[in-house]
Amino acid sequence: MTGPDKLVGCVGAGWSKIVWDALEQADQLGAPVTYQQIKEKFGELRIYGRTVRGQYNPPGDAERRLIEILDAARDASLVTCEVCAAPAMAEKTRVRCTACADKNPVQLVCLSAAGVISHQ
């Protein structure tokens, strides 16, 4: 992961378990992973990361598996309320359950490489 004090991103509190599950799965790959950014974009959870490898090393199984993990996290976000984690459906630029449809602002969980650093 990146340096422990580096802010990686903020997501709705309802997606925090999806993020942590993905990061835990990535930790099991046996290859170091760096995360450039974790955010919501166009109503989807986006986790940008890559395995650390030498400049001339071809992509390996760990990198392919990381892509699968990050894609699965994105897919899970499309059916999970970003506010409360209840089952939900994606709307144009957000994913909310019926109970949270009108809640604004969304409570954010900000993440660093060391873990959760704040709730906003």
Domain ranges of the chain: 7-53+60-119
Q: What are phi and psi of 114, to 5 degrees?
A: -85, -10
pLDDT of residue 55: 53
> Which residue spans within 1-120 are E strands per DSSP?
7-12, 33-41, 44-51, 89-91, 94-96, 108-112, 115-119
| pTM assigned to the model | 0.80
Q: Residue-wise pLDDT tens for the chain (120 aa)? A: 443 445 567 888 899 899 989 989 998 988 888 888 899 998 899 999 888 765 555 567 888 899 999 999 999 999 999 999 999 988 878 898 889 888 776 777 776 655 544 444
Residue type, 71: D
pLDDT of residue 8: 64
pLDDT of residue 112: 66
